Structure 1
Amino acid sequence: MFKRRIGPHPHEGDGNGSGAANSCPDIWELDSGDFAIIGTDQTAHLRPHLPSDAFLDPGEGIVVLPRQVLVKARESIPLE
């Protein structure tokens, strides 16, 4: 199911958004070609602030990924 990590390991180097051993924001490509995000669930906090044209369906949530994680993963994200 999990095909490959997108970007560096969460504990590799400094400033990857992982402050401790139990905080591991991460991006994974799945066998299906979709992506799985490991981050902080901020649904309850951010739902009331969604723009009027954004919606959460049942089963969906808002996951926050530290900026630095996505920036470091940029070169590993497939274009197609």
Structure 2
Amino acid sequence: MFHFFSNPQNVLHLSSRVLGVGLAMLLAGIYGAYLYDGHLSIVALVSLHAMTIVGPTLLKIGYVMRLLAQHRLSKPLAGALA
């Protein structure tokens, strides 16, 4: 598992997926919790409201992962110079 995160290209691809899932959760949560006028059970409403919290959290995590991966990709490898 540590080998996966040691490759910045893998982290960059994973961050794109985390950003996509976070955005989808946020938009679905906003639509379902605030814009949808149909009858929903209390469990569904609580889940949709939770998605409006978890979605932005995943967006932030994905963005930080992307920044770290791009920073590591811009650095020259230490072993390549020797």
**Structure with the bigger percentage of strand:** 1
Same fold? TM cut 0.5: no
TM-score bracket, normalised by the shorter chain, equals: under 0.3
User: Which protein is bigger by CA-based radius of gyration?
Assistant: 2
Please report the TM-score for the alignment, with normalisation by the length of structure 1: 0.24
Please report the TM-score for the alignment, with normalisation by the length of structure 2: 0.24
**Structure with the bigger percentage of helix:** 2
Greater RCO (Cα-Cα under 8 Å, separation 6 or more): 2
